Amino acid sequence: MFVGTFTNVATVIAGTVVGAAIGARIPDRLRQTLLGGLGLVTAALAVRETLATDRFVLVLVAVLAGAVVGELLRIEQGLERFGAFLQARLAPGSRPIEVELPELAQPPTSGDDRFARGFILASLVFCIGPLTILGSINDGLGDPELLIVKAGLDGFASIAFAAVYGWGVGLAALTVLVVQGSIALVASGLEGVLTDQMVEVLEAAGGVLLIGVALRLLDLAHIRVANLLPALAIGPILVQLFP
């Protein structure tokens, strides 16, 4: 149960250990190649997820309606502002971070501040984003693969963070456990409510969103994927309305 969440926690801890020890010596070429490989794997999973249902018209409507709702609610902008707010309050003086693929801020001089800042910045990066929500929902429904991909991304990011901030990054594993575990727990409670067709449409809509995540990882397009998240709720509703 919740295999993806526990795998994600493990990779954050392992990445912190590696990063604190040898992270600064990992060449940029290897980093870029690893990120490209993770992006390609994400794209492959996205294609498979979109083929989960033959009711693609409902998926299309769900994604388009979700885009309208998400843009009206400005979900991605809200997440970015929330992250910036927490960073400003809890890790003052650091540069703003990117939610998906952060650039590291300059390390603080104080050891205690360095530990705390590493924990805060890593927690924000690992827990704010569409892959966190989508992967946790799937994990709660018994499919951990998306979170396993995210675990690879977070493990690699942990190496980079720990190379600068040290062991405080590893404490973000607790944040990952609480946030993703909570979402997965709620999703598991819906397992008996959602029909097979609802789950298939949800997974297909999630696959479309995952393509957007893959394009961002491959640095091909910056799609506001978080603004598409309402599609995950709209898809099952459409199946209920049009069985």
Within a 10 A sphere around the Cβ of 215, how many other Cβ atoms? 18
First-last CA distance in the chain:
30
Q: How far apart are CA 56 and CA 10, in angstroms?
A: 36
- Burial class of 83 by CB neighbour count within 10 A (0 to 12, 13 to 18, 19+): buried
As given in the structure block, the two tokens for residue 190 are 């819906």
pTM of the model: 0.75
Predicted local distance difference test score (pLDDT) of residue 45 = 83
Least confident of 57-66, 129-138, 180-189: 129-138
206-234 mean pLDDT? 88
Please determine, for residue 106, whether its predicted confidence score (pLDDT) is greater than 60.
no
Q: Which of 94, 123, 96 is nearest to 108 (CA)?
A: 94
